[in-house]
Amino acid sequence: MPIKCLICGNRSTGVHYGVVSCEGCKAFYKRGQTKSLSYKCYFGQACFEDGIKSNRCKACRFQKCVQVGMNLQAPKRGRRTKERAFTISELGACHRDPNHYHSSVYNDKTGGRFRHIAPAGGGGVVASSTAISVITPNPGRDLLSLSYIRPFVNSERAEAISLLRNSGSFSDFTRIEIDRTPRAHMRWIDPYAQKNCLDYREKVMSDENSRDMPEFLGDYWKVIQQKGFLVGESLKVVEDAVKVIYGEQLTTWNEFMREAIFCNNAPKQPQCSLAEMLQAIRDSVAECQRKGTRFYFLLPGFSDFTQEDQKILLTEKWSETWLIVHSPYLWRGETYYWIGERNRQYHYCQYWMRQVLHPSHIAKVFSLSEDLNAVKLTVVESFLLLAVATFHPDLTTAKNKPFLTFLYGHYMDCLLQSIRSRCNLSEQILLEKRLRTFMKQFRSVYRLGNFYVRSLDFSGGLPFRAIRDSVVISVEDALTTSDDGLPSLESSSVMVA
Amino acid sequence: MPIKCLICGNRSTGVHYGVVSCEGCKAFYKRGQTKSLSYKCYFGQACFEDGIKSNRCKACRFQKCVQVGMNLQAPKRGRRTKERAFTISELGACHRDPNHYHSSVYNDKTGGRFRHIAPAGGGGVVASSTAISVITPNPGRDLLSLSYIRPFVNSERAEAISLLRNSGSFSDFTRIEIDRTPRAHMRWIDPYAQKNCLDYREKVMSDENSRDMPEFLGDYWKVIQQKGFLVGESLKVVEDAVKVIYGEQLTTWNEFMREAIFCNNAPKQPQCSLAEMLQAIRDSVAECQRKGTRFYFLLPGFSDFTQEDQKILLTEKWSETWLIVHSPYLWRGETYYWIGERNRQYHYCQYWMRQVLHPSHIAKVFSLSEDLNAVKLTVVESFLLLAVATFHPDLTTAKNKPFLTFLYGHYMDCLLQSIRSRCNLSEQILLEKRLRTFMKQFRSVYRLGNFYVRSLDFSGGLPFRAIRDSVVISVEDALTTSDDGLPSLESSSVMVA
DNA sequence: CTGGGTCAGGGTTCAGT
DNA sequence: ACTGAACCCTGACCCAG
Ligand SMILES: [Zn+2]
Ligand SMILES: [Zn+2]
Ligand SMILES: [Zn+2]
Ligand SMILES: [Zn+2]
């Protein structure tokens, strides 16, 4: 019967530095002598609480080493013959209270929480509840919870960090106050927008289209003349809105992701109970809604819709908002952001995502995020893209199509203007190509949000299922529904390509 | 009274293979029967000379075993009664003349220290001593002479090797010939420098200073225009000078330090007599002077000083030169370089340093070296820093302050240019910060060199004492003297911060 | 006593990820 | 870049002779 490592629970190979431990923890402790200062825990120093054994958090692992009494100067206990082997109690002699680690206590303490330990193996989505049993039927499974995850190499880190959208200085975000009222700008967007149905996007509109609508040309050009100023003003407003509403969150999340990835502490383990996490998710959704609503009302144009259309847009565009805000923090199958109320924030890691969402839903979200990240927009640009997606006249049931079309074009201009002001020509061309590619997925995002996410039954079991007309539907169903109440692709009034 | 192992000085457990020895040496000798051929000493086969006990060098340990007479076929001696225990002379039969080395001095110095190997941990299971010894008054003292020093672990080695300043390819140093005469470059430094008192450092000079010297502005800008070229040329010249003058020495010392540390053979022992070492030190000082002089004369600008100023600089800047050249080879209280004439080189280890220099002098030198190493300069940069230190107008009694100021600024530019060309911005900022921190010690280096080292009385006893006006002065006296004949810090004409 | 054997546990390496 | 299984080296301990 091999004795388990007191730090990680792995098979021990004897006493190392005064503690019954495995080869890994031995080497880790040794290495930590010069490096432990740079270790940092992101999860409340609880990663190595009884029952949770994760070698993924170096800070907690090292802390645990020290806690159980590892000591470089620990005396060697010499060797014994087989007849006079060390007894278990002798082996435990170095520790504070041997009973503390007794298996029964160990399992009692973990109780219901044990099931939240992530199975690192690929297959299982939810950790199987092997809780109370002391001897596991399949000893190999023990190692699963320890399965090594290669730390990121620098090139990967650079890639991850590049997702953190460039925004000049994030750190200043929280300190900047906007002194403009967005309504002021709408005063002169309005006259054009409300009276005329103008698609004034010079870049997007093809020559053929302009031939088809010669009667608008007069007004069109009037708008064009003012467009430069209009675009500039909207850019400023959006930038300020992003800073005021999302600045702090972006700063925090960026810092978190950066540190998590650069300190090799990829967070993969739960830090709280399911109930706590569900509450955190609810809080987070509410907060995201709140922020999104604030953003929309600061977005020039939005407040000029009827209350009914505003409500529709706020409801229907939840998915878009979520994606724009979160995509930089989804990377390589893991998430890197905090959720929950300020005083109790948790890392919404993929483990939890898998608890509550269907795998194909997760896959779709990651896939969309990846595509969006690949476009490589700045923060402000990504929110301009949100505006574009929001006002796409074909992808909402809001009624004021002319104004939607106008704003869609306007924010498209803003976005392109921003891109062009920071890229050289060849970069522009590539970026705009990637942008067009991503925009083809607008409809998928809309469908995912409105036919799948909005159908989720939060009263049922985990993971939540989407139910429409008393029938469970899959992500695929939602994405391919022919009955989306929107204009068909063919008759689209806006050319995206 | 416990008897010490004749090989390593550890507590002996009786006679093994014919020699009073410890369990370790016994087992080591046994194992060595098949492995001794692969042992190699890197330190002149002196690691186990009397008074020096280091288990780091296997070759010397085995040699010592043989030397003291270990023999596999040694007859076992029968049981002795306590009444007829072996006498000291019987046991010590193999000892050589202890007077040959300065073991008494060595032991005196280390005698006060008490560092012992093992049982530091209280309460743990410590192997009970079944030794011969009855209870000694102070059993810990036995371990003293062994003063076992843990071999360096790889992380420490990496740290040490990182001190060996990055220089591209050292190995090429000796093959490169310079084809430029340094005078050629001076031709056009000169006109500006000799005629005008220019502080042309745009980085260092504050706005206030520029207001104070409006009359120089015209010339100032002319110089600025040429600065880029000037800096580049000087960089090349300095690089070549370093290669030609110090290349071979750097290569040799680097190799020595690398091997010493990676082969676990930290040199701690004398390999020659005091007289030989003193001669080697004299040779080494002369050689360092010679090299320094050559370097200064290749350094653009130096040869344009009056002969008097040149002499002053050469004399006053000895300390700076020594520090720049030697600091990478001072690490963790030990030195890693050779001194002496080519045919008879010795390792100037800390043992010898302690013989000739006062402890607080040594401490100061190590402290300065550590600070300098922490800056992390390349070889060429460290010599640019030497130029900066040399031409600091406030830290010399040389007369041509305008030209000193000019050259100080010029080499500061060169140094910064070199740093900036190899570091990204954040590295630059950190490095320059460390550099500024170190530069605050220039005055200490100057004082150490000119008020302490130059006052050393080499005719007196060891360690050498510094005598000024017939009074023995301490390093502290020298460092805090108010009478250094230099401008006070407040009126400094050069802004370092 | 001590030669010889044993082996815990320290350090180091390097393939694997 | 980190991890940890596998390895080497040391020396305390055991025991037969
Ligand atoms: Zn372990
Ligand atoms: Zn942790
Ligand atoms: Zn010994
Ligand atoms: Zn040696």
Percent of chain B with pLDDT over 70: 60
Q: How far is the CA of A4 from the C1' of C9 (A)?
A: 17
Residue ranges of the domains in chain B?
1-79, 214-480
Query: Do A75 and B153 make contact, defined as CB atoms within 8 angstroms?
Result: no
pLDDT, residue A489, reads 56
Closest CA to B385 of B415, B406, B355: B415
pLDDT category at B187 given cuts 50, 70, 90 is: very low
Nearest to A71 among B121, B125, B156 (CB): B121
Q: Which positions of strand D lie within 7 Å of protein CB atoms?
A: 1-6, 9-15, 17
Closest residue in chain B to residue A18, using alpha carbons only: B124
pLDDT, residue B172, reads 32
Q: Which residues of A touch B121 (CB under 8 A)?
A: 18, 71, 73-75
| Three-class SS state of B57 | coil
> A311-362 pLDDT, tens per residue?
999 999 999 999 999 998 887 777 888 888 777 777 787 777 887 889 899 9
Cβ of residue A153 near strand D, that is under 7 Å?
yes
Distance of CA A404 from the midpoint of ligand 3 (Å): 90
- CB atoms closer than 10 angstroms to residue B149: 15
pLDDT mean over B419-429: 77
Nearest to A18 among B118, B121, B153 (CB): B121
pLDDT, residue B165, reads 63
Higher pLDDT, A493 or B369: B369
pLDDT category at A364 given cuts 50, 70, 90 is: very high
Which nucleotide is closest, CA of A77 to its C1'? C8
Closest residue in chain A to residue B117, using alpha carbons only: A73
Of A132-136, A192-196, B410-414, the one with minimum mean pLDDT is A132-136
| Shortest alpha-carbon distance between residue A67 and chain B (Å) | 15
pLDDT, residue B369, reads 92
Nearest to A75 among B126, B155, B156 (CB): B126
pLDDT category at A156 given cuts 50, 70, 90 is: low
> A382-426 pLDDT, tens per residue?
999 999 999 998 899 998 887 787 788 778 888 888 888 888 877
Those residues with Cβ within 8 angstroms of residue A20's Cβ, 6 or more apart along the chain or in another chain: A3, A4, A5, A6, A12, A14, A91, A92
CA-based end-to-end distance of chain A: 67
Those residues with Cβ within 8 angstroms of residue B408's Cβ, 6 or more apart along the chain or in another chain: B201, B388, B391, B392, B393, B494
Selection from A118-127, A195-204, A205-214, B194-203 with the highest mean pLDDT = A205-214
pLDDT, residue A283, reads 87
pLDDT category at A224 given cuts 50, 70, 90 is: very low
pLDDT, residue A446, reads 94
| Shortest alpha-carbon distance between residue B436 and chain A (Å) | 25
Cβ of residue B22 near strand D, that is under 7 Å?
yes
Of A433-447, B55-69, B91-105, B267-281, the one with minimum mean pLDDT is B91-105
pLDDT, residue B364, reads 94
> B203-246 pLDDT, tens per residue?
333 344 434 333 333 343 444 445 556 777 788 889 888 988 99
Cβ of residue B129 near strand D, that is under 7 Å?
yes
Q: Which residues of B touch A96 (CB under 8 A)?
A: none
Query: Do A77 and B127 make contact, defined as CB atoms within 8 angstroms?
Result: yes
pLDDT, residue B240, reads 87
Residues whose Cβ atom is located within 5 A of ion ligand 3: B 5, 7-8, 10, 22, 25
Mean pLDDT for chain B? Answer: 68
Q: Which residues of A touch B118 (CB under 8 A)?
A: 73, 75-76
pLDDT, residue B438, reads 93
> B56-86 pLDDT, tens per residue?
678 888 888 988 889 888 777 654 444 334 4
CATH of B214-480, one of 2.60.40.1080, 3.30.450.20, 3.40.630.30, 1.10.565.10: 1.10.565.10
A1-79, CATH topology level: Erythroid Transcription Factor GATA-1; Chain A (3.30.50)
pLDDT, residue B423, reads 77
In a mutational test of the A interface, the residue from B125, B156, B162 whose CB has the highest number of chain A CBs within 10 Å is B125
Phi/psi for B12 (5° steps) reads -80, 150
Q: How far apart are CA B294 and CA B25, in angstroms?
A: 51
> B95-147 pLDDT, tens per residue?
332 222 222 222 222 222 222 222 223 333 223 322 222 222 232 222 222 22
Residue A112 tokens, joined: 């219901």
Query: Do B153 and A30 make contact, defined as CB atoms within 8 angstroms?
Result: yes
pLDDT, residue A55, reads 58
Q: How far is the CA of A50 from the C1' of C11 (A)?
A: 30
Whether A380 and A316 have beta carbons less than 8 Å apart is answered as no
| Shortest alpha-carbon distance between residue B370 and chain A (Å) | 18
Nearest to A94 among B119, B120, B124 (CB): B124
pLDDT mean over A177-181: 30
Is it the case that residue A368 has pLDDT exceeding 90? yes
Q: Is A309 left (phi over 0), alpha (psi -120 to 50) or beta?
A: alpha
Give Cα A341 to chain centroid, integer Å.
Answer: 16
pLDDT mean over B17-24: 92
pLDDT, residue B202, reads 36
pLDDT, residue B428, reads 76
Higher pLDDT, A268 or B216: A268
Q: Which residues of B touch A34 (CB under 8 A)?
A: 155-156
pLDDT category at A168 given cuts 50, 70, 90 is: very low
